[in-house]
Chains A and B, each alone.
Chain A
Amino acid sequence: MTGPAHIDDLAAEYVLGTLSTEERVAVSARLQRELPLQAAVAYWEKRLAPLDELAPPIVVPIGLKSRIDHKIAAVASGAIAGGSVVTLDVHDLQRRLRHWRTSALAATAIAASLAVILGAREMVRPPLEQNFVAVFQKDDASPSFVMSVDLASRTLSVRRVAADVPSGKTFQLWIASDKLGVGPQSLGLVEDRVTEVKKAISGIDPSIVQNALFGVSLEPAGGSPTGKPTGPVFHAKLIQTSG
């Protein structure tokens, strides 16, 4: 099912917008590397674009532009001002992360660039040996959460980057390690997109935290009713950023 006809169906439906989430994500990932698919998508984008004429212009609410300017300034200056929503190019972030993982400069690069994500406070603090980050992603195309761990102060913070909360649902953070017993243990809810969530991990030995698997799952509002993840889970392990 990878012949030209299939690629064309896929590209046409991708542009038309009728694919499911999973299919869209799969096509987005393939578009990064498959030239025939890129060409087919470009064909349909151009051919169907005249349909945009059928959506009449609608005046944008006043004030939106200044919010955009604010975001751009925040991203450019490397500091996220309080209350602004984090906007990141997820593909770019992914590419850079992959690169950094294999690079000798990994430590400084991630520390410097993730300062944008982690906020000004972390940025101005001198790097410790015990800072880690983890990127949660459901699949190849979408990093959804970025978590940073500071073992010195025993805090971790999770920032929702590209995941949206369906109504009546909440995200829950988990830690799993065979040294912590069977199955994941809850570290609490990740409720807000805008502000950082700080969770104490003081009760857990740093070496366990360092090697644990972390997960974020989608749960009913208020958290998992069973004490274990019940919804789709995003997993991540820690990457050391300094030391």
Chain B
Amino acid sequence: MLKLFLSIVRIYFVLTVSVTHSDRHGSGAKFCGDYFVQYATMTTAQDLVRLLQRIALKETAAFSELYEATSAKLYGIVLRILVRRDLADEILQEVYVKIWERAGDFDPSRASPITWMATIARNRALDEARRSKPVSLEDMPAGFDVVSEAPLALEMLTQSEDGQKLFDCLQKLEVEKREVVVQAYLHGLSREALSKRFSRPVPTIKTWLHRSLAQLKDCIGP
């Protein structure tokens, strides 16, 4: 019963976010409406698995459905890392071409479909960020310093079992070390960028990362 409630809350949250963004982009009510329906009907992992299986057979309709259901999520991930929309747009295209080509490799026994797709997106974005990062976080236009937000509301993590576990274990790290790990993941920050952001020498950051990750692994277990 609690699970059902949580998933309703979650759907509501996603819808709120998407409607807010649609408004900001000045889109009409119809677009919001379409978006609403697509998100509301596409929340289960099982649906995504089925879509990927159809995409492996090169069904374009399934690919369009998958795109509607997941592109906002993957775009959010890619944009957090790349910051620049032009880069994020290009990378997101490559990510979906890859999903189209690799759908047959997806193995539901090894990863959830959204994790599988998010991993493709993250890896591609990280490669891009490392290769050609012309904007350091320090060079970002005013108001775009996403990193200087207040500590992230990690409670968002507690919606899934894996997330709850990670949340509990992250809580056991010291505040600053926890922030290093979380910011690194979300923004794809290198050790150098973390060093600037947290005003600590690079070797210190490296040591922190290794210790924190080892501690996390001990806590999470195999």
Contact = CB atoms under 8 A, between A and B. Distances in A.
A and B from one complex: yes
Interface of A: 8-9, 12-13, 16-21, 24, 42-61, 64-65, 67-69, 71-72, 75, 85, 87, 89, 163-167
A18 B79 CA distance: 17
A47 B166 contact: yes
A87 B94 contact: yes
Given A51-B186, A55-B80, A72 B100 contact: yes
A71 B90 CA distance: 12
A166 B162 contact: no
A131 B144 CA distance: 50
Contacts of B126: 17, 24
Interface string B179-197: 0011011101111001000
B95 to A, nearest CB: 9
A17 B81 contact: yes
B194 A18 contact: yes
Contacts of A8: 213-214, 217
Given A60-B75, A72-B100, A17 B157 contact: no
A13 B67 contact: no
Contacts of B152: 54
A64 B163 contact: no
Contacts of B159: 53
A65 B71 contact: yes
A48 B119 CA distance: 10
A16 B134 contact: no
A69 B64 CA distance: 9
Given A71-B93, A71-B97, A166-B134, A56 B213 contact: no
- By size class, the interface of chain B is 35 or more
Nearest to B99: A68
B75 to A, nearest CB: 5
A65 B72 CA distance: 12
A12 B212 CA distance: 10
A193 B182 CA distance: 35
B104 to A, nearest CB: 13
A45 B134 contact: no
A60 B71 contact: yes
Contact of A64 (B35, B76, B81, B92): B92
Contacts of A71: 93, 97
A45 B111 contact: yes
A142 B60 CA distance: 29
B76 A56 contact: yes
A57 B217 contact: no
Given A60-B92, A68-B93, A47 B162 contact: yes
Nearest to B25: A59
10 contacts: A17-B126, A24-B126, A50-B160, A51-B166, A57-B21, A57-B72, A59-B25, A68-B93, A72-B100, A164-B131
B106 interface: no
